[in-house]
Structure 1
Amino acid sequence: MLTKQNLALFFGTLFVLATLFFFFIFPVTPPWQTSGRLVLAVRAVPGPTADFTLLLGVDNIELYKADGGTEKVTVRVRRVTLVPGSDALAVVLDASVPTGNYSGFGFILTSPELRNSWQEDEAPTHMSLVGDTVRLDSPYHIEKDVTSTIVLAFDTLTSIHEKDGAQLFLPVIQIETRFNATPLPEEESTIHIQGGIIEHSATYGMDWDGRMRYNFRAPAVESEPTENLQVEFPTDTATDIDILAVPDDSATTSTTTLTAEETNENDIQKVEEKEEEEN
């Protein structure tokens, strides 16, 4: 039999669980903390062609405070589409976060793939990740009732590599943080950011160890040299090499000098003989 005390306990527990679930699912700052608005959006660096479209997921966003703390922003995986020929900004995060100074942020990349922009029915090309954790040092700050923005521009043309017949994605990201900016909504969950003060801009790239490095772009994969490499030449090639062999320089110089000395002695001897005949 349910008593009033049991009912109060039941509904109290239900309220606590619902509150925890709400703050876990939705990135909302508790009402007892002062907060500001943070918008995180991504796009592709505009390129000369748009033959392919890059799709990837962004998950587990973390904001790093300047004092060393971490503010975790729980969001569901956002699947974004990046077209090199477009500068549209796709919204990944639009949330209220605690005020303060921040030193950077991080997130997890998931399931990158390429699609042919001209053949939409064609199966996508799945790419592997050298590292899925992206951590970027880029300062920004949040103030009460003010909007701050972070824009990530993926340089798709320099992020895609091939190794052993497989496509690899090593992200190269241009970052720009702004304070007191105005995000203006556009079509299909995209925005345009207007105004604001640029606080920081930089480029980071992932190396072959999966680490993000400042002002870096991973070089193309180079084949490693084979140990104890031996080169065999065909018989006719060896003959050509023998013909092109250059004699030792010292031997050539010595021979030339000796010939010149003999010539000089012969000339002197002829002059002396001529003088004797005249006398």
Structure 2
Amino acid sequence: MPVEGRQHVEVQTALYLEELADAVEQAETDCQTDPFLDRPPSPLFMPSKSGLDKATEILPDDLFFFEVEVRPILEILVGKTIEQALIEVLEEEELATIRDQQLREEKERRMKQHLEFSARRKELAEKLAARAFSKMYMEPLVPTVFDHLYENGYFYDVVERDSPPPRQVVTENYQAYAALEAAELAARLSEEQQTMLSHLEPTADLVSSSDEIRSTEPSSEPQTAGSTDGSVQHGEEQKNDEEEKEEEEAERDGEKKKEEEEDEEEDEDEE
């Protein structure tokens, strides 16, 4: 059953085919349109005549004589043309000659420059080779020669030569100061020695008296000798200690003064 609102179409469902043998009438018909023609050109405007036409006739030799009046002018024109052509040809030949001469001169100049460049290059190579050989030959000799010249006094500092060096001045001043300190120290030592000798005189008297007693009393001899030797050794050790202390103080004072002088010299150099 067909669905409501739809309509079924009958379709052939048989197993065989039916041949259609009816001939259909056919006919052919052609049509063609003519091409569009171009618009013809507009005719030229011809104004209307306002007068009457007239005519005249000029016969040969009526206005001038060609042989008499035109020939000289024509000869001049032809001659000028030929002369101008010759001038132009000569100018072209001259320009070609100048161009060839310039090319030859340029070629010669380039050859000359090439020869000069080759000569300079050869000279430079020879100079470099000579310089390398001389450097190789003179390099070990230069230090020896300069050392020899310095030793012989050929190279010197003008300031050091004209004025004594600060080191020498400092050394001389320090030596003078050290000599003065040594003299003062020797004077003080001599005074101390005299003082010690003056102190040792009673001891010597005691020793002499002890010797006299020892001669009378043999048993007490070792004790007196030992005491005397001990006092002498103690005096010598005290003397040596004082001398060492004074020498150390003198050395310290000298070092301090030397450092102060060096600082003053450095300040002067900086200024």
Fold similarity call, TM over 0.5: no
The structure with more radius of gyration: 2
Larger % of strand: which? Answer: 1
TM-score under structure 2 length normalisation: 0.19
Larger % of helix: which? Answer: 2
TM-score under structure 1 length normalisation: 0.18
